[in-house]
Amino acid sequence: MTENKKATNSSAIQKRLIPTYIFLIIVCFISVFPIYWMLTAATNTSYEVSTGKIWFGTNVVENMKVLLERAAAASGASLGKVMWNSFLYAGAQTVISIFICSLAGFGFELYHDKNKDRLFAILLLAMMIPGVATLIPLFTMMSKMHLLSTVYAFFLPGIATPFMIMMFRQNSRNFPVDIMEAARIDGLSEWKIFFQMYMPVMKSTYAAAAVITFMNAWNAYMWPRAVMTDNASMTMQMLVANLAGGYTIDYGVLMLGVFFCSVPTMAIFFILQKQFAEGITGAVK
């Protein structure tokens, strides 16, 4: 194939792909437009937002000022503190969750026997329990353990989820068992196999699990609202809910708050997206 031929070939391919491009551009426009709208709204006054202005305005500094004031008044500290709380809780939940769930996925798949498979099937049932039903019993439990208003109350119900275990379990099927045997003969303990072999190999699964868990923890509202009752532990979701409540709502400020609320989750996906796509590969085999 000459250089020339290749070029015409690829330009022919690109030509054939034009409908695909158009379709994708339309889909992306629909996907991204509301986010664009959120960005413009954050720079406008409330009146401009509710009258449907969809271009960037000049009120962003003013909105930011109000947002900082509201955050400081509501949390007793600052917007930074509220953001930090959200990061800390979501981060703690993510790290502990992927650790515990990967450990379980490792145990369920690489040491699997009939009993473990049966147990796993039972655990899957927990996926189907409606959250509303367990709110009161869980709250009572947290209260009995004196964990209310601590980070433990925030993450305990969310760190072991059947879905995460399933993801690690399925992904573990790609794990080279032979190497494990070799390591055992070398005298590596089971724990060391997990830490020194399993964890590095499963890097991308960890990335995918981290994205999903962080997203869920970051966006959690109902449960944190119930158990994190003091101002010092306010999260971004609570702040935004406060901005959206009341008789008069300032939409510019609200959208700026929402923007701060959305950036971390989008950023994390953006950073980890390559591993994310690889990471769930195994889960769907």
Decide: 192 and 230 in contact? Cβ < 8 Å.
no
Q: Cβ 206 to another protein, closest distance in Å?
A: 7
Q: How far apart are CA 172 and CA 166, in angstroms?
A: 10
Decide: 46 and 257 in contact? Cβ < 8 Å.
no
Q: Which is nearer to another protein, 58 or 203 (by Cβ)?
A: 203
Q: Cβ 44 to another protein, closest distance in Å?
A: 12
Q: Which is nearer to another protein, 61 or 195 (by Cβ)?
A: 195
Q: How far apart are CA 72 and CA 93, in angstroms?
A: 25
Q: How far apart are CA 84 and CA 81, in angstroms?
A: 5
Q: Which long-range contacts (CB under 8 A, 24 or more apart) does 60-64 make?
A: 60/256, 62/252, 63/250, 63/252, 63/253, 63/255, 63/256, 64/256
Q: Cβ 7 to another protein, closest distance in Å?
A: 13
Q: How far apart are CA 269 and CA 121, in angstroms?
A: 30
Concatenate the DSSP letters of all residues of 75-126 into one string: HSS-HHHHHHHHHHHHHHHHHHHHHHHHHHHHHHHHT--HHHHHHHHHHHGG
Q: Which is nearer to another protein, 58 or 182 (by Cβ)?
A: 182
Q: Which is nearer to another protein, 61 or 132 (by Cβ)?
A: 132
Q: Which is nearer to another protein, 61 or 191 (by Cβ)?
A: 191
Decide: 83 and 260 in contact? Cβ < 8 Å.
yes
Q: Cβ 80 to another protein, closest distance in Å?
A: 15
Decide: 257 and 75 in contact? Cβ < 8 Å.
no
Q: Which is nearer to another protein, 58 or 231 (by Cβ)?
A: 231
Q: Cβ 90 to another protein, closest distance in Å?
A: 11
Q: Cβ 56 to another protein, closest distance in Å?
A: 16
